[in-house]
Chains A and B, each alone.
Chain A
Amino acid sequence: NAGVTQTPKFQVLKTGQSMTLQCAQDMNHEYMSWYRQDPGMGLRLIHYSVGAGITDQGEVPNGYNVSRSTTEDFPLRLLSAAPSQTSVYFCASSYGVMNTEAFFGQGTRLTVV
């Protein structure tokens, strides 16, 4: 039972480069979301999705794009990486109307130099 799988676990980018953080879940969850974790600030919501084809912005969406073409996958794209995007990124998924807890991936530690 894989749960929520994020790849890669570590990444170093140069300023201006683009990349995609991958997230996949095998629990048939409706809801998926991306968070970033910065020291002293907890986790903040970047984007979320309530189902395939439906996405919306969270608290800190600037510089990131998402799409959800399937129930299983929810990739996060950094369009032009900036040092301010150095962070640990977590993907999460949860069931829909049951309002259950979110299951988190292992995280991706991203450094932008």
Chain B
Amino acid sequence: AQKVTQAQTEISVVEKEDVTLDCVYETRDTTYYLFWYKQPPSGELVFLIRRNSFDEQNEISGRYSWNFQKSTSSFNFTITASQVVDSAVYFCALSEATGGTSYGKLTFGQGTILTVHP
């Protein structure tokens, strides 16, 4: 069965610090998708990134970057020069793609609460 672990329950940083959110996953499928979602205090879920299992390229989007390593089954998320607006709960999620199709089913980690202090 698939599983996602976000070992960091809460992280607190001061503005402008860099912070890395860890995500470790388990799956038997060779084809799968990994996601990060942000849940700000308002409660909605905001999509940040999707990565498929065949693409191990790291990605950078502004202050956000993602490091995908199949060898360690990890998909970590780094925020550079954090800002107060980054305060939120961040979820890592996995979608297995049996036969190439994920059916939209996501397995989420427990979430990491990030608080950025001014």
User: Which residues on A are within 8 Å of B, measured CB to CB?
Assistant: 30-33, 35, 40-45, 48, 50, 58-59, 88, 90, 92-94, 96-97, 99-104, 106-107
Q: Is B91 engaged at the interface, CB distance under 8 Å to the other chain? A: yes
Q: Which residues of B contact A30 (CB under 8 A)?
A: 104
**Residue from the list A32, A45, A48, A107 in contact with B44, Cβ < 8 A:** A107
Residue on B with the closest CB to A99? B102
Residues of A contacting B105 with CB < 8 Å? 33, 45, 48, 58
Whether A96 pairs with B101 at a CB distance below 8 angstroms is yes
A42-B108, A42-B110 given; A97·B101 CB < 8 A: yes
Nearest to A42 among chain B residues (CB) is B108
- In the docked arrangement, what's the CA distance between A100 and B102, Å? 9
Q: How far is the CB of B2 from chain A (nearest CB, A)?
A: 10
